[in-house]
Structures are given as structure tokens and as C-alpha cells.
Amino acid sequence: MSTDGLKPVKRRASLADDVADALRARLLRGDFKAGERLPTGSELSAAFNVSLSVIREAMSRLKHDGLVETIQGAGVFATEAGSSRTFRLDADSGNLAALKHIFELRLAFEEGAAYLAAMRRSPKTLQGLRKAFERMHAEDPGAGAAADKEFHRLIAGATGNPLFLEFFDFLAARIDSTIFIARAHSAEAGISAEALQEHRTLLRAIEDQDGEAAKAAMFKHLSNAAARLKL
């Protein structure tokens, strides 16, 4: 396969992501057939005008997606597109439409997590949730966002279902950015106290082992967070 049609990518936050996105699009379009060898790292480096380390990172992402495989001594080969692809969130987290999609996914996922957490929480879980809630009062947005994320992660863990925690961790990067943006908007609007009250209500429902109340509190919290972002 030649490097024809491959052009240098624009330099943004992650060149590896840019290269991976460009190659992913071609793989899914069928430009590289299953079993066909991709250009060498040096060829791709020259075509995209990036370093070999960037190409290696991009290939790692494509391997994670199941779109390519490496055969020792032979090179990198395209797999059957979509045969073993993993779920991805490719949207730019700073885009409002993308944030809306993420909040909708979080809403459906975390409502269920809140219900199960309330029914199954342990004294240790409650202790962790209370500590995380107290840390959410921090004036520093970064510290507050970290506590916010930990609070929601503990809820996922309290379900007792390891898949909930795994999926939460999968969403973590996006959740980091959406929580940070939501807190920034709340501070600008002077309603950060409202978000704290939402977490307090959620915590009390989990303490009371009231699954329906916890589910409703999570729905209200994430719906209000979306509203604060004007989604």
C-alpha cells in the first residue's frame, strides 16, 4: 500500500490522535484491505510529517481498536474492519454537542449505578463518599473536580459490579473535562452551592439505602449540570 493520499496533519494537542484518526478513517473506509500491510513507520512518518514516536503511539491506538495487528518481522497489517473494535468516544470534549452526548450517556449509566449503590453500599463506601463530598468544597477548581470524580467513581464501585467501575474508568477522561467545565460555569453563574446540594441529596439517599431516591437525585444532578452548561 502506497502513502499516496496521506497528508501532513495539523498540529493540535495530540499528534498521535490526529494520525490515528486519519488512519482509522482510511481503515474503516476500506482503503487498507484485511491482511494488507500498512506502510512502514518511516514511510508514515514522512507522509504525516511527524516523528516515529508519534507513529508508534498512533499504531498503539489502532491496535487497541482492533483495526491493525503487528506480525513480528513482517510489519503492521489491517484486520477485518469492525471485527474486534472497541467502543470509542472520539468527540471533542470542548464541543457543546459532544458534551450533550456525554451527559446523556452518563445520565443513563449513573442513574443505574446510583440505584445499585444505595442498595449495596457498605460502611467503607459511605466513609469514602463523605470524605469526597467534603473535599468538593475546595475553592481550587482542580481539587474540587478531582473530589467530584472520586465521589462518582465510588458510587460506581459501590454497585459491587466490577463492570460498572470499569466502564466508569473508561469514561473518566471525558468525565474529567465535563466536570471541570461544569464547575467553571457554575462558578461564573454563582450556583456552585446548588451543585453541592445535589451531591448532598444524593449522598443522603445512598446513606438511607433508598435506591429510587438515589436514582432520582442522580438524574436531577446530571440534568442540572447539563442545564448549567446550557445543553
Task: Give residue 157's pLDDT.
Answer: 95
Stretches in the chain below the pLDDT threshold 50: 9-13, 83-84, 91-93, 188-191
Task: Give residue 190's pLDDT.
Answer: 44
Cut 0.85: pTM above it: no
Domain 96-228 bears CATH identifier 1.20.120.530: yes
The domain locations on the chain are 15-78, 96-228
Task: Give residue 104's pLDDT.
Answer: 87
Task: Give residue 93's pLDDT.
Answer: 47
Domain 15-78 bears CATH identifier 1.10.10.10: yes
Cβ burial, residue 214 (10 Å; 0-12/13-18/19+): buried
Task: Give residue 176's pLDDT.
Answer: 61
Task: Give residue 6's pLDDT.
Answer: 65
